[in-house]
């Protein structure tokens, strides 16, 4: 079965990823709970779980979670030392979305948060349908920066493109409902959008960029240093030395498995 290989893109920046990637608003989990109200199971599979940002929030909202992730390095951060909130409800599973080592009908909910663009959609969707219970729900979730609401964000995107000319700021904006429909295994996908703010300061935002594959895996060490200097100057230009907030748009595609 052709699958995307395990992605090493974040192994060397797992700490920055765990510390500096944005969280998700509670409204996302309230939406997922409403979508699955009629299902008897409270088991969820979080594919491409990374450092567990989304998995932990699912557990906090009453789910038993299989956090499926190919990188052992990232999985080590899913249950950080001293983090006790619902840890027992999260099961760490090494594996890829195109071949998750879970039984048929293992989950009422399958999520891919900040991850589906790394998957091979036809193979991943076939496996997602397999591990979902009848009538189970698939949710694709992305936190996206909203440049239309923030001049700094637009300037930041331009700075990234200057250092990495191959960068496409819309790389996560694909025809996800079309890909889901093409699998023939789901009802038509429904879109939801939730706007929220991401509190920041200069050090935290620079730390976030160290977890970004389009920076970390593309620029040389020297180029990353120059990029970070320019980024700090851009932050000072827009916000001085004060804390600030980045407008985010959480895009959610929800589809129910056909019987």
3-29 per-position pLDDT tens digit: 444 455 677 788 888 999 999 999 999
Give the residue extent of every domain in the chain.
Answer: 11-145+170-199+248-256
Q: Which helix (H) or strand (E) holds 69?
A: strand 64-69
In whole angstroms, what is the distance from residue 206 CA to residue 169 CA? 18
β-strand pairing of 107-113 with 132-145: parallel
Of 122, 133, 134, nearest to 97 by C-alpha is 122
Query: Hunting for tokens 């909203």 — which residue is that?
Result: 146
Q: Is the pLDDT of residue 1 over 50?
A: no
Q: How many helices (H) and strands (E) does the chain have?
A: 10, 7
Second-level CATH architecture of 11-145+170-199+248-256:
3-Layer(aba) Sandwich (3.40)
> What would the pLDDT profile of 193-245 be if each residue is shown by its tens digit?
999 999 999 999 999 999 998 998 889 999 999 999 999 999 999 999 999 99
CA 111 to each of CA 58, 99, 129, 132, 166: distance values in angstroms, whole numbers, following the listed order: 10, 15, 12, 11, 29
Sorted by sequence, the CB contacts under 8 Å of residue 17 that are 6+ apart come out as 10, 50, 51, 74, 77, 211
Question: pLDDT tens digit string along 87-114?
Answer: 569 999 999 999 999 999 999 999 999 9
Answer for the pair 65, 41: CB distance below 8 angstroms, yes or no.
Answer: no
Give 17: exposed, middle or buried? Use CB within 10 Å, 0-12, 13-18, 19+. buried
* Average pLDDT estimate for 38-44: 96
Q: What pTM did the predictor assign?
A: 0.92
């Amino acid at each position: 079965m052709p699958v995307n290989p395990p992605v090493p893109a974040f192994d060397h920046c797992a700490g920055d990823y765990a510390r500096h990637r944005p969280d998700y608003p509670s409204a996302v989990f309230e939406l997922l709970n409403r979508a699955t109200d009629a299902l008897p199971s409270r088991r969820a599979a979080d594919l491409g779980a990374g450092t567990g940002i989304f998995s932990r929030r699912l557990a906090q909202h009453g789910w038993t979670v299989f956090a499926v992730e190919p990188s052992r390095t990232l999985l080590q951060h899913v249950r950080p030392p001293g983090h006790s909130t619902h840890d027992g409800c999260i099961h760490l599973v090494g594996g890829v979305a195109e071949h998750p080592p879970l039984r048929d009908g293992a989950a009422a909910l399958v999520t891919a948060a900040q991850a589906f663009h790394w998957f091979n959609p036809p193979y991943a969707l076939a496996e997602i349908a397999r591990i979902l219970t009848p009538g189970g729900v698939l949710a694709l979730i992305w936190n996206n920066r909203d440049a239309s609401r923030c001049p700094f964000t637009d300037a930041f995107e331009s700075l990234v493109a200057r250092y990495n000319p191959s960068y496409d700021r819309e790389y996560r904006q694909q025809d996800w409902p079309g890909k889901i429909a093409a699998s023939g295994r789901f009802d038509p996908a429904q879109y939801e959008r939730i706007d929220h703010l991401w509190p920041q300061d200069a050090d935290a935002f620079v730390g976030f960029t160290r977890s970004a594959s389009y920076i970390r895996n593309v620029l040389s060490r020297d180029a990353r240093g120059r990029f970070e200097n320019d980024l700090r100057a851009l932050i000072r230009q827009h916000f001085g030395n004060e804390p600030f907030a980045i407008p985010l748009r959480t895009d959610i595609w929800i589809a129910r498995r056909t019987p």
